[in-house]
Amino acid sequence: MAAFPTTRMRRMRAHDWSRRLMREHTLTPNDLIWTLVVSDKADPTEPVASMPGVKRLSVKAAADAARRARDLGIPAIAIFPHIDPSLKDENGREADNPDGLVAQAIKAMKDAAPEVGIICDVALDPFTDHGHDGLIEDGVILNDATVERLCSQALMQAASGADVVAPSDMMDGRIGSIREALDAEGFQDTMIMSYAAKYASAFYGPYRDAIGSATALQGDKKTYQMDPANTDEAIREVALDIDEGADMIMVKPGLPYLDIVARLKATFEMPTYAFQVSGEYAMIQAAAQNGWIDGERAMLESLLAFKRAGADGVLTYFAPKAAELLNG
């Protein structure tokens, strides 16, 4: 490369047309997965205090949201349930209820907009009274017994019409077991998006508020979610999940973990997604509400950053707002 003054990097940045011409990455509604909270109580919507702009939706409102996603060109919605505390117990019995909130939401949304993909979280935490993702015995999260419950939960979701099941629990061996369970019941076309590299993060705080497990959670999730200090461990986690049959891999949280996104995409060349989690959303919204940053610009910049890092798509609470802006 020629040195300055022969090379002047600002030459290409001087005009809108030349900036557009050399732009390497773009964000479109096709890159967005709308993370949406459904509730058996919401009437028809109720705000989540720690996530300004996010509402818990009733089943009917969720069906409307599916139509809205279709109209905005958003390919898929990932649903997260807020269930009545009276339905929560130690074993998360409600998790595989074929008539429960999740089953109702999937059916209503697929009826309303069959062309929108529906992704379901597989984990017990919305349904347990202790707020953990798995079964507990003497303070220890049980791995293999939890995986059995997760298989049953994933089967219920597939049977209700979910297109993708997304295990977010970080138990060992769950991808292989879920694939086997789905195939045995004729759900060979149901995809698995694995929360493959999921870290024990402070950024999930507002989500616990959103699904109503904030006050419930006892202790932390460090014995199953990954240590934020590690990268090599993510490679091994993802290698295992791909080996067990994951169709897509995900990194979570998002923005603080872009190095992991970039390394996983380069290493495995798999369909790779990042989850811009509740705390990331809340930070942008809070700063914007205070007038400290331009919220819309910060939103779009953060979403574009995922693309630059190599993500094929982003799970985000911003999806409808971002798609509206992107569609002009």
Q: Which is nearer to ligand PBG, 187 or 203 (CB)?
A: 203
Tell the smallest beta-carbon distance from residue 277 to ligand PBG (Å). 3
Out of 55, 198, 265, 307, the active site residue is 198
Which residue's CB comes closest to ligand PBG?
207
How many of the chain's residues bind ligand PBG (CB under 6 A)? 11
Looking at residues 91 to 150 of the shown chain, list those that interact with ligand PBG (rule: CB under 6 A).
Answer: 121, 123, 125, 133
Site for ligand PBG contains 168 (CB under 6 A): yes
Choose between 57 and 112: whose C-beta lies nearer to ligand PBG. 57
Cα(269)–Cα(13) distance, rounded to whole angstroms? Answer: 32
**Shortest distance, CB of residue 11 to ligand PBG, whole angstroms?**
42
Query: Tell me, what amino acid is at 117?
Result: G
Q: Do 234 and 268 contact (CB within 8 A), yes or no?
A: no
Site for ligand PBG in 5-44 (CB under 6 A): none
Residue nearer to ligand PBG on the CB measure, 221 or 263: 221
What residues does 268 pair with on adjacent strands? Answer: none
CA distance 128 to 87: 9
Q: Is 194 in the site for ligand PBG (CB under 6 A)?
A: no
Contact present, 143 and 134 (Cβ < 8 Å) = yes
Among this protein's residues, is 252 annotated catalytic?
Answer: yes
Residue selected from 162, 277, 303, 326 as contacting ligand PBG according to rule CB under 6 A: 277
- Least distance (Å) from ligand PBG to the CB of residue 169? 6
Binding test (CB under 6 A) with ligand PBG, winner from 128, 272, 278, 316: 278
265 belongs to the catalytic site? no
Q: Which residue number, 216 or 287, has a Cβ lying nearer to ligand PBG?
A: 216
Alpha carbon distances (Å) from 260 to 123, 160, 190, 237, 298: 23, 33, 26, 12, 21
Torsion of CA 254, 222, 133, 45, to 10 degrees: -40
> Does residue number 209 form part of the binding site for ligand PBG (CB under 6 A)?
no
User: Cα–Cα distance between 65 and 46 in angstroms, integer?
Assistant: 14
> In 3D, which of 88, 31, 52 has the Cα closest to residue 288?
52
Q: Is 207 in the site for ligand PBG (CB under 6 A)?
A: yes
**Which residues does residue 212 pair with via DSSP β-bridges, in sequence order?**
none
* Pair of tokens at residue 199: 């870290």
Q: Minimum distance from CB of 121 to ligand PBG (Å)?
A: 5
In the bound state with ligand PBG, the residue whose beta carbon lies nearer, of 119 and 326, is 119
Q: Of 123 and 303, which has the nearer Cβ to ligand PBG?
A: 123
Q: How far is the CB of 168 from ligand PBG (least distance, A)?
A: 4
Q: Smaller CB distance to ligand PBG: residue 104 or 278?
A: 278
Least Å distance between CB 251 and ligand PBG? Answer: 13
User: And the tokens for 235?
Assistant: 């490679």
Residues of this chain, 215-254, that bind ligand PBG according to CB under 6 A: 221
Give, in order, the Cα–Cα distances in Å from 129 to each of 25, 56, 122, 198, 220: 44, 20, 17, 22, 14
Beta bridge partners of 295: none
**Where in the chain does DSSP place strands (E)?**
32-39, 45-47, 55-57, 76-82, 117-122, 136-137, 140-141, 164-167, 191-198, 248-252, 272-276, 313-316
- The residues annotated with a catalytic role in the active site are 198, 252
Instruction: Using CB under 6 A, list all residues that contact ligand PBG.
Output: 121, 123, 125, 133, 168-169, 204, 207, 221, 277-278
